Amino acid sequence: MIFYEKINYLSKKIFFLVLITLIEIYFILVIVLSLFSSNKKELNCIQSEKIYITSNGIHLDIIIPYNSLSDKLKENLQISDRLKYISFGWGDKEFYFNTPTWSDLTFSTTFKALFLKSESAMHVTFYSSIYTNWKKINLCKIQIEDLNLYIENSFKKDYNDKFVKINVSGYSSNDFFYEANGSFSFYRTCNVWVNEALKNSNIKTSIWSPFVYGILYHIEE
């Protein structure tokens, strides 16, 4: 009996040691890969376009001026030209719906989002003017085209190749949710989606950054 109790104790101790080690490795990788930038190619073009990145401290969104949006995005989102700026975010569907504010955050919602396979959603917000806390990025025409395509491909589409709007209330009267491709996890967070969008558009950013800080670090350099 005592022997089995010792085995049980040692097993639990080993489990927690392994868990702590994995967590430490995860955060070491976060720091290293966030600080090192992706290999941006030199583009011989005029940076006539601009986008913005906005952060609430935990989550990043990409903001594109209306005139720089692709026709497909304008058509599917039915955007009026009165709305000058359109914000795009990607994330876990349940997290979006059940956590309108950080005071609503629960352990179960966080655990499911990080470790269980779940559906994702695109969050689209319309703005009529620029906010002072937005971070501006200048880029070329080819880069904005690549960014538009990346965002288009993040939306799940129906049989008619149309975006699938989710029938839920947004956080305000000017934001909406759509079905999205991919699944949220501890290695592919909402900020990794933004980071991949920037890398795909040949914009300097982190190699990998599940948190906001790595991406903002390279924007502000």
Tell me how far the alpha carbon of residue 9 is from its chain's centroid: 41
Q: In what order do the strands lie in the sheet with 135-139?
A: 135-139, 49-55, 60-65, 85-92, 120-127, 175-180
Predicted TM-score of the model (pTM): 0.87
> Angle at the Cα of 138 (from 137 to 139), degrees rounded to 5?
115
- For residue 193, give Cα distances in angstroms to 5, 135, 156, 162: 46, 17, 15, 21
pLDDT of the residue at 107: 61
pLDDT of the residue at 57: 84
pLDDT of the residue at 88: 98
pLDDT of the residue at 134: 97
pLDDT in tens, the chain (221 residues): 565 666 666 666 776 677 677 778 878 887 888 888 887 777 888 899 999 999 988 889 999 999 999 999 999 998 877 789 999 999 998 888 877 555 666 666 666 656 667 789 999 999 999 999 999 999 999 999 999 999 999 999 999 999 999 999 888 889 999 999 999 888 899 999 999 999 999 999 999 999 999 999 998 75
- CA atoms of 29 and 198, how far apart (whole Å): 20
